[in-house]
């Protein structure tokens, strides 16, 4: 089902909201629905079976992941402390020879050690650190450890979350790093890295929804994490690495032919769901949300301050991915032209989102000659910038949200310009 104004004729939280003349709270954010067996009744009967199989496979895989970790400990033995959150340090722009050095090999060994039994990786971990210990968790503690706070991001299990994810570039970055290392380590010594990549490819294939999208976390974990996730370029990155596998790119040339064919088919399915998720308003294609419901493809919320919206940065990433497609179909061309037109119409000039004082931090201010910049989120109905806060309020002025939330998020950026730059070249071949 296409996400359109008739299906989600909402400004934000399910209700149309009039445009505010002065800064105001214009709505309240509401949580996304998880993917469950009960929800499959929303689908036509002939479409339910693949989704039911997917959910059952996901549940079974989580049990395997948990049991595998537990089996690494002797009876009564206490598990090691969980990993400490940090930056990945998996650089992908070094000279080719560097990836054969002891430094790179050590990072690769740590990466392999933290691969989950399902074949993915968690996020926000320092891969220059030590290898995973027996019985040590694959992921960090939850980002939100407090319970009963009303947070949309509160996990079902604070000690088992993001155990396999595409968030923050996880899994695809590990695979690309290992691909570079294995090129420099031929023969038996590199087999462990090649085996890990193949396991990662199979993970991406298993995690892909029947309609071609990917959740943020697999095995699925509930809440907004079950949505098809364009945020952090998750769907596009998964599809692009599978494209590279299918095409036999040098870092993945060792992948068996049958698996390469499956990777290519999966990437093609992802293109179809991307096209279907482009939001249509008043019969006109616009842009993409940060995430959409797995079954309906309607825009959904994420964290308390991340409301249903059209997202400029995520749309830019999707457009760049679509423009990468060889021999684009008429549907791809139409989607790209419409998406770029939407971005161009929302470019902001003469404003800057910048620090104004130590007391206030960043605010949106007048700055002659500045721009273009874009708001991160736009109301689906009006196309105007909107902003969220921890209290779930949705506001029409970034300067009015709490200082901590205003300064802790990229509410405005110039990131969409990269899509416009790519379009300038792409449109010469695809007018």
Point out the catalytic residue in the list 303, 362, 376, 406: 303
What was the pLDDT predicted at 265? 98
Give kind and range of the element (H or E) at residue 284: strand 284-285
What was the pLDDT predicted at 44? 96
Residue closest to 135 by CA, chosen among 69, 82, 78 = 69
What was the pLDDT predicted at 143? 75
Q: Is residue 81 part of a domain?
A: yes
- pLDDT by residue (tens digit) across 140-177? 988 776 777 788 988 888 889 999 999 999 999 999 99
Assess contact for 23 and 397: CB atoms under 8 A: yes
Assess contact for 335 and 323: CB atoms under 8 A: no
> What whole-number distance in Å separates Cα of residue 3 and Cα of residue 11?
13
CA distances in angstroms from 114 to 61, 143, 173, 259, listed in the order given: 16, 19, 13, 23
Q: Is residue 146 part of a domain?
A: yes
Q: Is residue 2 part of a domain?
A: no
Active site residue 399: no
- Which residue ranges of the chain lie beneath pLDDT 50? 1-20
Q: Is residue 111 part of a domain?
A: yes
Q: Is 163 helix (H, G, I), strand (E, B) or coil?
A: coil
- pLDDT by residue (tens digit) across 263-299? 999 999 999 999 999 999 999 999 999 999 999 999 9
385-422: burial string, b at 16+ Cβ within 10 Å, e else: bbbbbbebbbbbbbbbbeeebbeebebbeebbbebeeb
Instruction: Identify the domain containing residue 246 by its residue range.
Output: 38-306
> What whole-number distance in Å separates Cα of residue 321 and Cα of residue 319?
5
First to last CA, the chain: 29
Q: Is residue 295 part of a domain?
A: yes
What was the pLDDT predicted at 145? 66
The domain that holds 282 is classified in CATH as 1.50.10.20
Q: Is residue 277 part of a domain?
A: yes
Count each helix (H run) and each strand (E run) in the chain, helices first.
Answer: 10, 13
Q: Is residue 399 part of a domain?
A: no
Q: Is residue 287 part of a domain?
A: yes
**How many domains are contained in the chain?**
1
Point out the catalytic residue in the list 124, 168, 233, 377: 168
Alpha carbons within 13 angstroms on the beta-carbon side of residue 37 total 7
201-239: burial string, b at 16+ Cβ within 10 Å, e else: bebbbbbbbbbbbbbbbbbbbebbbbbbbbbbbbbbbbb
Q: Is 264 helix (H, G, I), strand (E, B) or coil?
A: helix
φ, ψ for residue 221 (rounded to 5)? -125, -5
Q: CB pairs under 8 A, 24+ apart, for 330-338?
A: 331/275, 332/271, 332/275, 333/430, 334/285, 335/274, 335/275, 335/278, 335/285, 336/423, 336/426, 336/430, 337/427, 338/278, 338/284, 338/285, 338/286
Beta bridge mates, 25? 395
CB count in 10 Å sphere of residue 128: 14
Active site residue 168: yes
């Amino acid at each position: 089902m296409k996400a359109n104004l008739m299906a989600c004729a909402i400004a934000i939280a399910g209700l149309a909201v009039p445009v505010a003349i002065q800064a105001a709270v214009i709505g309240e954010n509401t949580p996304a629905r998880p993917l469950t067996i009960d929800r499959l009744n929303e689908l036509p009967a002939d479409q339910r079976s693949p989704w039911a199989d997917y959910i059952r496979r996901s549940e079974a895989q989580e049990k395997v992941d948990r049991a595998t970790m537990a089996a690494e400990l002797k009876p009564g033995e206490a598990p090691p402390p969980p990993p400490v959150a940090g930056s990945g340090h998996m650089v992908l722009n070094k000279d080719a020879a560097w990836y054969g050095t002891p430094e790179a090999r050590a990072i690769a060994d740590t990466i392999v050690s933290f691969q989950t039994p399902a074949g993915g990786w968690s996020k926000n971990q320092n891969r220059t650190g030590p290898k995973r210990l027996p019985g040590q968790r694959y992921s960090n503690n939850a980002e939100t450890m407090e319970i009963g706070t009303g947070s949309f991001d509160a996990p079902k299990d604070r000690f088992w979350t993001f155990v396999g994810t595409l968030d923050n570039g996880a899994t695809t970055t590990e695979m690309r790093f290992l691909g570079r290392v294995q090129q420099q380590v031929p023969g038996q010594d590199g087999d462990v890295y090649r085996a890990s990549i193949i396991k990662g490819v199979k993970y991406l294939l298993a995690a892909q929804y029947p309609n071609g999208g990917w959740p943020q976390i697999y095995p699925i974990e509930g809440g907004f994490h079950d949505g098809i996730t364009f945020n952090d370029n998750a769907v596009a990155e998964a599809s692009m690495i599978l494209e590279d596998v299918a095409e036999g790119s040098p870092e993945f040339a060792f992948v068996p032919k049958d698996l390469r064919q499956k990777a290519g088919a999966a990437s093609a399915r992802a293109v179809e769901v991307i096209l279907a998720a482009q939001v249509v308003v008043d019969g006109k294609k616009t842009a993409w949300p940060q995430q959409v419901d797995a079954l309906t493809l309607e825009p959904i919320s994420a964290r308390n301050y991340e409301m249903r919206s059209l997202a400029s940065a995520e749309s830019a990433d999707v457009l760049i991915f679509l423009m990468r497609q060889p021999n684009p179909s008429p549907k791809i061309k139409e989607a790209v032209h419409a998406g770029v037109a939407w971005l161009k119409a929302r470019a902001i000039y003469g404003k800057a989102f910048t620090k104004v004082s130590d007391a206030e931090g960043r605010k949106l201010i007048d700055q002659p000659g500045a721009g273009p910049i874009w708001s991160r989120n736009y109301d689906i109905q009006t196309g105007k910038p909107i902003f969220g806060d921890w209290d779930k309020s949705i506001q029409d002025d970034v300067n009015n949200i709490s200082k901590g939330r205003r300064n802790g998020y990229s509410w405005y950026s110039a990131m969409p310009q990269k899509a416009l730059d790519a379009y300038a070249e792409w449109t010469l071949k695809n007018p």
